[in-house]
Amino acid sequence: MNIRNILILVDLSEATPSLLRYGLQLAASVSAEVWVQHIYYFPPDLAGEVRIPVAALEQYKHQAEQKLEALREEIALPIKQLPHFSVIRGDLIEQANHTIEKCNIDLVIVGNRGGGLTTNILGSHTLKMIYHARCPVLSVPESVSFRPFNRIALATDWQVVSSKNVSQIKNLVKQWEAYLDVIHVSTDTKSQEGGLREPLGLARTPYTLHYLWEQDIDTGLQKHIAQYQNDLLVLIPHQHSFFNRLFQTSITRQTVYHSQIPLLTLRE
């Protein structure tokens, strides 16, 4: 994937300045244009109407715009890096996808409240974006500082990765001049007898294939990232059960994947 246009979705919480700095530093590193949006939604009642006075809605939007302006001044953005700021009322997915299509967005950046992969850590909004955004999504742990993606970890079942995703991964590695760790975590040690099957389509891409034998997928990934100091974890949630297995394991056992690195999810 070539990152030219970036959409940063902010909730105006205490974590927003950190997320915004991260997104702008990433954008500067690849000379990308940036859009920053705060999308808010007031659910209707059973009759399909929003029982909130118009004046209150306008006041909320005004206050949100003031907060974004304050962030602009706080971060002291250079003229060349001034992003497009906007406050929009509506459904998160619908509005974000509208911007993605209208502005040819290549990457959406969202916050990750706890640095984890489980639903109670990522939050419902981040999960909605991961599953329904019409472009790759980068979720960034709170207070993580930007650093170049020198070593990328791809966790995958691999045999079902599409040619589109292979191309995205190769372009990502090329753009960052990175090294790629292709990781498969298996709970079945008997599958080791079949040996390691080299992934297809990675010619001229520097990579190593890792098979990890762990009862817990998240534990295996955590060990690998701690050992190899990866800067980015990549998953493909729509293509195989690996992503669901990871979530189900974490949710069932109430474990938290504490890797303080960004998570990039690719679309099928």
Residue 184 within a domain: yes
CATH number for the domain harbouring residue 182: 3.40.50.620
Q: Are residues 70 and 128 in the same domain?
A: yes
| pLDDT classification of 267: cutoffs 50, 70, 90 | confident
Domain extent for 117: 5-141
Which residue from 118, 122, 169, 164 is spatially nearest to 141, judged by alpha carbons?
122
Q: How many CA atoms lie within 13 A of 227 on its CB side?
A: 11
* 206 within 8 A of 180, measured Cβ to Cβ: yes
**If you average pLDDT over every residue of the chain, what do you get?**
79
The mean pLDDT value for 29-36 works out to 92
Q: Which of 78, 109, 141 is the last residue of a domain?
A: 141
Residue 66 lies in a domain: yes
Q: Are residues 85 and 195 in the same domain?
A: no
Beta bridge partners of 263: 139, 233
Nearest CA to 38 out of 3, 2, 78, 84 is that of 84
119-135 tens-digit pLDDT: 333 456 787 888 889 99
Q: What is the dihedral of CA 239, 133, 221, 23, to 10 degrees?
A: 150
Task: Evaluate if residue 58 carries a pLDDT over 80.
Answer: yes
* Boundary of a domain, candidates 117, 141, 165: 141
Single residue among 114, 141, 168 that ends a domain in this structure: 141
Q: Are residues 65 and 12 in the same domain?
A: yes
Tokens at 131, concatenated: 């599953």
258 compared with 252, residue with greater pLDDT: 258
pLDDT reading at 203 higher than 70: yes
Query: Which phi and psi angles does 70 have, rounded to 5°?
Result: -65, -40
The total of structural domains in the chain comes to 2
Contact 255, 216 (CB under 8 A): yes
Which of 175-179, 187-191, 233-237 ranks highest by mean pLDDT?
Answer: 175-179
Same domain for 155 and 136, yes or no, is: no
State the pLDDT at residue 8. Answer: 96
- Shared domain for 170 and 71, answered yes or no, is no
* pLDDT for 94: 94
Question: How does residue 49 score in pLDDT terms, banded at 50, 70 and 90?
Answer: low
Q: Are residues 219 and 242 in the same domain?
A: yes
